[in-house]
Structure 1
Amino acid sequence: MTAFHVKHFAAYAALLRRWQGVMNLVAPSTLADIEARHFADSAQLAPLIPPGAVVADLGSGAGFPGMVLALLRPDLTVHLIESDTKKAAFLKSVSRETLCAGAQVHACRVESLYDAITPDVVTARALAPLPKLCVLTEPWVRQNPALIALFMKGKTAREEIRQAETVWRFALDFVPSATATDGAILRLTRLTRASGCM
């Protein structure tokens, strides 16, 4: 990372610790190691995203991975979608304090943005099981069939894939996590419903 990144990620970490005192943004056990547990983990997605992409980060929460990607990749436009208004206020504070021009925070449900944005990439971390993520992503795939989904998963990843394949068809790259021994990044493309599944 550059000195610019170090400065702004330090500000991000300080804000996270301050806001954690009034709301539950991350598991308390991870506060001592924000850089590895959250920043480095989220940063794994950065090289998987095409240049200049529009990204929709579902259920952004404390900004992982969306805000991290917006800070690392100023070429991206990252829509951070968070229905909890307090968490959205935190994200806006981070964006303001870090001068992160590429981050756009939406305090709303994912479904309300289907006609407002057309992402090239959809991301999510610790939001919902894979079948639900496919449901949330499908309307955007209809707009952009080349859409790439990057979902960060833990030890249930393979079981979630099996569950999703009962209803969905997709091309899958299973990328082992570099920061969690039981984690993985699921890269999905060509997402469609299986024949006969509504």
Structure 2
Amino acid sequence: MKILKYIAIIIAVLIIGFLLLGLLKPEVSYDSEIVADKPLPEAWAVAQDEAKMAEWLPGFQKVERVSGTPGTVGAVSDVYFITDGEEMVIRETITNIVPNETIEMTFTSDFMDMDYKLSMAPMDGKTKITSNTTTVGNGILAKSMMAMAGSSIKAQEETNLENLKKAIEQNTKDYFPVEQTMKEDEMTVENEEIN
């Protein structure tokens, strides 16, 4: 009987410790950074292209508009993922956007809330991409689980950014055909003037 009592005490201490972890560290914050070997306008276009999201966000399925104008402050969308064979829906709200510079969003789900900022800056013809994330579990159990999984959540974000870098560097889609057409028109005019 003494052994059962000690086992019960150890289990109770572990449970209390687990729950206290969520109270002591209710949020997890982390930063990640990469450099993509493409110019900023193209890097931004790839990151904002829903058709490319499956290339850098594991399990990404689709985006459904809820309200607002896509790509503007206040736009709300439901983002669908498949994780471990289960569908997960995260509600995304754009809270700030400066094209070719930064986008800030909040993500909410049953399990957690997340504040996310993706920033881009030109760097010698390349693009420096930085993400800043703060997550908070919804409920004491979720807070404790988030506190314990903090390093694996950061590792996932680093993987996502590496995948984004790869998607940007392997991109072949022309996001700026009007500019190309204008350049071709300018060359045609110059050739006509020479002849």
Q: TM-score, normalised by structure 2?
A: 0.27
Indicate the structure (1 or 2) with the bigger Cα radius of gyration: 2
Q: TM-score, normalised by structure 1?
A: 0.27
Normalized per residue, the structure richer in strand is 2
